[in-house]
Structure 1
Amino acid sequence: MVAVDVVLARLLALHAKRIDLSLDRMWRFLARLGHPERRLPPVIHVAGTNGKGSTVAFLRAILEAAGFGVHVYTSPHLVRFNERIRLARPGGGVLVGDDELSDALATCERLNAGDPITFFEITTAAALLLFARHPADVLLLEVGLGGRLDATNVVDRPLATVITSISHDHQEFLGDTIELIATEKAGILKPTVPAIIAPQSPAALAVIQRQAARLCAPLRIGGKHWRATPDRDRMVFRDGNGIMELPAPRLVGRHQLDNAGTAIATLRCLPALQIPNAAFGQGITSVEWPARMQRLVRGRIAVMAPHGAELWLDGGHNPDGGRAVAGALADLDRRDARPLILVVGMLANKDCQGFLMNFAGLASAVIAVPVQQDTALPREEIAQTARRVGIPAETHDSIAEALASIPALGLDPAPRILITGSLYLAGEVLAANGLPSI
Structure 2
Amino acid sequence: MSVDTTGPGLEPPPEDAPAEAATDTAATRIDDASPLLHDRRLLAFFTSRTLTAFASQMQAVAVGWEIYALTGRPLSLGLVGLAQFLPVFSLVFIAGHAVDRFDRRRIAMICQLIEAAGAATLAVGAAMGWLTPLAIYALVAVFGAARTFEGPSLQALLPGLVPPERFSRAAALSSSLFQTATIIGPALGGLLYGVGASVAYAAVACAFLAAAVAMSTIPRPARREHRPAADLAAVFGGIAFLRKRPEILGAISLDLFAVLLGGATALLPVYARDILHAGPIGLGLLRAAPAIGALGVALWLARHPIAGRAGPKMFGAVALFGVATIVFALSTSVAVSVFALAILGAADVVSVVIRSTLIQLRTPDEMRGRVAAVNLLFIGSSNQLGEFESGTLAALIGPVNAALLGGIGTLLVCAAGMKLFPSLRRLDRIEAG
Q: TM-score range by the shorter chain?
A: under 0.3
Greater CA radius of gyration, 1 or 2?
Answer: 1
Whose strand proportion is higher, 1 or 2? 1
TM (norm. structure 2) is 0.25
**Which structure has the higher relative contact order (CA within 8 Å, separation 6+)?**
2
TM (norm. structure 1) is 0.25
Whose helix proportion is higher, 1 or 2? 2
